[in-house]
Amino acid sequence: MTTIDLNSDLGESYGRYTLGKDAEIIKLVTSVNVACGFHAGDPDVMAKTVAEANAAGVAVGAHPGYHDLQDFGRRYMALPPAEVQHMITYQVGALQAFLGAGHHLHHVKPHGALYNAAAKDHDLALAICRGIQVVDPTIPIYGLAHSQLIVAAKEVGLPYAQEVFGDRNYLADGSLVPRSQANAVITDPEVIAKRTVAMIQNQAVTAIDGSTVALTTDTVCVHGDNQAALAIVARLVQELQTDHVGLKAF
């Protein structure tokens, strides 16, 4: 049976602001990417999300991003590679601390603008990988399939998983359609479910120009901040079961 890791970006509430339906989504996915306080999240939310994931037997990963609460980490910042490396180490180390002694992070997945920029910028991707290695060189990075994040991970010997998105549209070069465009995000649970299964079965996706983009699908992401996230995950899990695709953390 084919198996896939289903991940979701969670722990993105902070202070008096609540975002997403984390407790319900955690029960359906196999791994979670927990915000580390820079683009979203705070120490209390980090602790709560880690505890809920551990209780559900779900793999816990760090989700570091740009220091950008105002724009949810979706604003590109031109930072020196050394600064990016330290920023990653800081956030990954913080989340690792919430797992406690004897427990280790399952993976690291960069967030938002940082993730998308590193998909094309090799130096930025290397800085992220090296920032992870400072904390623990055995922690895999989740990166956009066939992107510079994967190239950089191979270069420095960091484990990696190639990620695809069921709820995002793709450009012909394999990158995600920018959120500034109206057709960037898909919200229909039925469309996402069918599209994701096709991506897994075909190891490819149809870009917005109609071309076919080859993919490697180690893990599939559904964004937790999507208003329909819970319905999307539930429908996707149902479709995967129907098509005999098992769920297992990477």
For the chain, what are the domain ranges? Answer: 2-247
Cβ(65)–Cβ(112) below 8 Å: yes
**How much is the mean pLDDT over the chain?**
95
Q: Which residues of 158-170 are buried (b: 16+ CB within 10 A; e: fewer)?
A: bebbbbbbbbbbb
Average pLDDT over residues 144-153: 98
Residue 1 has pLDDT above 90, yes or no: no
- pLDDT value, residue 225: 67
- pLDDT value, residue 224: 66
14-49: pLDDT as tens digits: 999 998 889 999 999 999 999 999 999 999 999 999
Report d(CA 165, CA 9) in Å as an integer.
Answer: 12
Task: Match domain 2-247 to its CATH number in 3.40.50.720, 3.90.1150.10, 3.30.1600.10, 3.20.20.370.
Answer: 3.20.20.370
180-223: pLDDT as tens digits: 998 999 989 999 999 999 999 999 999 999 999 999 999 999 87
Q: Tokens 């075909």 identify what position?
A: 202
pTM score of the predicted model: 0.95
Residue 3 has pLDDT above 80, yes or no: yes
